[in-house]
Structure 1
Amino acid sequence: MGIKGLNALVSENAPRAITSSEMKSLFGRKIAIDASMCLYQFLIAMRQQDGSNLTNEAGETTSHIMGFFYRTIRMVSLGIKPCYVFDGKPPVLKGGELEKRLKRREEAEAKAKELKETGSVEELQKFERRTVRATRQHNEDAKKLLKLMGIPFVEAPCEAEAQCAELAKKGKVYAAASEDMDTLCYKPPYLLRNVTAAESRKLKVDEFNSEKILEGFEMDLNTFVDMCILLGCDYCETIKGVGPVTAMKLIKEHGSIEKIIEAIEKNPKSKYRVPENWPYKEARELFLHPEVKDGNEVDLKWTEPDVDGLIQYMVRENGFSEQRIRDGAEKLKKGLKTGTQGRLDGFFKVTGTIKKRPAEDDKKKGGKKKAKTTKSRKK
């Protein structure tokens, strides 16, 4: 779900923190991608004309396999080196949100069943998309494919977004890529959105600079995380009656959730209601000190694809075109070699303080030295 309303608040209060550019501008970059988000995107987007999932002869879904294969090739062909990060066990606090998602999915399944008899194709497809869930088998399929493609992946101990941010903070990758805005709470140097979106060929990639966001809001990370909890996250409910604008106003005025609660409790006429046993402190801890693998201990390696293995898995087991898979493997080989050339901005770095030239010093002194030099030349 991410953080409710955060994208709009960042756009309004820290517009300089966001830049939009073509995917090709990421040439030479390594990026860590939220694989769990990709699974949902591909299962929803990669479908047959009648709206049903792509399947192999055994009736097993292959939409996610197709998505990972072709989207990854596109990135690599543009000189980008992606690595994928898979979710581990969900935090205990996320249980309530997961239950809500399950209930919504069950309601969508019931509605889809009803619409098969009476509804239009468009209505049916709308509710069928809401029934999508990524299974353990889908995850294992994606990992097997990535290994054959020579693309590294990381299994996070907990939240994938937090691990993506950790890899970026430790310099293993340039940025974390996810559609979830709560990734900003883990403070990666940069967050990328629309990298794997279904409309990625049309959409530009949005890059969020974490430091500039904090500067724009005039907050430190602790205060920013408190604001995000007030906005609404996956870990706990919000204060009743507090929307995005009010959340930012309250945090600006009081500085922390504790002080906001104190102000509400002191005012018997307050229209805001703090939830009972509100676990905001636990949510804060999950954002500020997430369970992740130390980025320094993660070794990311991109290798040549196993063409024979890809043919066996993609063609013989899942029914894809052999020529297309071979062509894709060649693009992978070529793209990974091109990506190793790196970016020009990686070679030019400012080291130390730039000293002023003598002429600039002369100007500061009123040009006396320069006049003397000119006089001596006349002699």
Structure 2
Amino acid sequence: MGIKGLTNQIKEKAPESVRVEQLKNYFGRIIAIDASTAIYQFLIAVRTGEDGNQLKNQMGEVTSHLQGMFYRTIRLIVNGIKPVYVFDGKAPEFKSEELAKRREKREKAQADFEKAKEAGDSISSAKFQKRTVRATKEHVEDCKRLLKLMGIPYIEAPSEAEAQCAVLCKSKKVYAVASEDMDTLTFGSPRMIRNLTSSQAKQKQILEFDLEKVLKSFKLTMDQFIDFSILCGCDYTDTIAGAIASHKAYRVSENFRYEEARNLFKNPQVIDPNEITFKWSDPDPQGLIEYLCKEKGFQQERIEKGIEKLQKARKEPVQSQKEQKEKEQKEKEQKEKEQKKEQREKEEQEKEQKQKEKEQKQKEKEQKQKEQKKEQKEKEQREKEQREKEQKVDQKVDQKEQKEKEKENKKEKRKNHSKKRKKKKDLKKDSVKKEKQQKQKRKTRSSKRK
């Protein structure tokens, strides 16, 4: 399954990370191919007759996968590509729930297929029949044997093939990974190619995804991209429907084992790339005829033509040295173009940064001036308030002194008044006394006269 909706997310938000390629542009490149998705493609695509049944031999054995593997691998070799097939190992334990769901879907599709077939609905029956397809252990072993006879190297991964492919690409053992599962990017493959092994008749565009550009456009780190992929929906957890599209908060179920899924993407079980070597050997014509024609019932004439084409391509691929140089020159020009673009973007970013810094400095200057004016105003206000306060204090002191002076004046007036009264009283007293004395004198005189 891979990552739900990731292809559309990338095409919408990071279109520059996806480019349409031609098969010849991978001349001389080593490509790691996810064998499981390739076999599944062959089982789906290679059909025969009006009813669209899988290709089978006289014994009733399905041979669609062998025909697809044989001829499409030859097509890659003819175009100068060096394929390395990587097969799945044991699935992680907590992927069992996803595998059980797939099994249920196939069983339902089988029932729907039988109903459509009985009803004579050829379109629906063909649709449901494709949903019943799965790559069995027998299909896998058949393809391994075929690749060995063709002289094509393959690897048996300890667990997920996409993880092993991604590690090979990260270590530069291979140029890119060819797979239909988008979790190849989540496992960290720098490049991923889709539709590399598709039928020419379907004319599907070969798409190359660049992980670095995806992360740059999404503005995510690799760890954040892994979490983003888990939220989209992967093979290892329950899906939170609409979690990415609606940007809402959700209460996750107990079965949402995101930590285990995150750990698997970050630390997958793989073979150390340094322990892996690839060897493309000459094909075994007799062995191929024995296996494909005598055991599996293919037409010997067609197989011999395929072998001849394979042998010729192994010696001299169709792409000439001139084309190779042209391709290298084109890649060089493309790289220079991208570097110039990055340089322009960098210069623009620096220019924007300088402008922002200038604006920030101007803003800070204006803010500082504003603050200084504010401080000056506050200082003047404080001084004014201080002067007013001092004036009020002085006024109070003056008023107090005035009151005290008035009080003293009043006191002095009372004192003077008191003195005057006393003096007046004393004068009156003296006058009375004097009058008494005079009266006494008169009385004395009067007595003497008598």
- TM normalised by structure 2 equals 0.69
- What is the aligned partner in structure 2 of residue 29 from structure 1? 29
In structure 2, relative to structure 1, the CA distance for the partners of 1:113 and 1:24 (3 Å cut) is same
Change beyond 3 A, Cα 1:277–1:310: closer
Residue 163 (structure 2) pairs with residue 151 (structure 1): no
Give the count of matched residue pairs.
327
1: CA distance, partners of 2:170 / 2:316 = 25
Looking at structure 1, the residues matched to 190 and 115 of structure 2 have their Cα atoms a distance apart, in angstroms, of: 47
Over the matched positions of the two proteins, sequence identity in percent amounts to: 50
Q: Which has the larger radius of gyration?
A: 2
Equivalent residues in 2 for 1:320-359, closer than 5 Å? 320-338=298-316, 343-344=324-325, 345=328
Contact 1:81 1:336 in 2 (8 A): no
Gaps of 5+ in 1: 251-263, 265-271, 351-379
Match of 2:222 in 1: 221
Deviates more, 1:55-64 or 1:146-155: 55-64
Residue identity opposite 1:102 in structure 2: R
Alignment partner, residue 245 of structure 1: 245
Which residue identity does 2:94 align to in structure 1?
A: L
Which residue identity is paired with 2:74? I
Q: Which has the higher relative contact order, 1 or 2, with Cα contacts under 8 A spaced 6 or more apart?
A: 1
Match of 2:288 in 1: 310
**Deviation above 6 Å: which 4+ runs of structure 1?**
346-350
Q: Which amino acid aligns with 1:26?
A: Y
2:7 is matched by which residue type in structure 1? N
1:298 to 2:282 alignment: no
Query: What is the 5 A alignment of 1:69-80?
Result: 69-80=70-81
Corresponding position of 1:56: 57
Q: Which moved more, 1:95-104 or 1:322-331?
A: 322-331
Question: Partner of 1:179 in structure 2?
Answer: 180
Kindly tell me: are residues 239 and 111 of structure 1, through their superposed partners in 2, closer, same or farther at Cα, counting changes over 3 Å?
closer
**Displacement of 1:305:** 0.5
Distance of 2:305 and 2:199 partners within structure 1:
22
- Residue equivalent to 2:95: 94
**Paired position in structure 2 for 1:253:** none
Deviation readout 1:148-192 (Å, 9 max, x if unpaired):
001111101111111111111122210011011111011112100
Give CA-to-partner distance per residue, 1:188-214, whole Å, 9 cap, x none.
121000111245761221001111111
Distance 1:207 1:318 in 2: 35
1:190-247 Cα offsets, whole Å, 9 max, x none, are 10001112457612210011111111111110000000101110100133551x334x
Matches within 5 A, 1:184-195: 184-195=185-196
Change (3 A) 1:327 1:19: same
2:257 to 273, 279, 298: 279
Q: Secondary structure at the match of 2:37?
A: helix
**What CA distance in whole angstroms lies between the structure 1 residues aligned with 2:132 and 2:83?**
28
**Is the CA contact (8 Å cut-off) linking 1:23 and 1:195 kept in structure 2?**
yes
- Once the two structures are TM-superposed, the CA of residue 326 in structure 1 deviates from its matched residue by 1.6
Instruction: State the SS of the aligned residue for 2:85.
Output: strand
Asked if 2 retains the 8 angstrom alpha-carbon contact of 1:3 and 1:228, the reply is yes
Measure, in 2, the Cα distance between the counterparts of 1:115 and 1:87.
Answer: 33
Structure with bigger helix share is 2
CA distance in 1, matches of 2:313, 2:168: 22
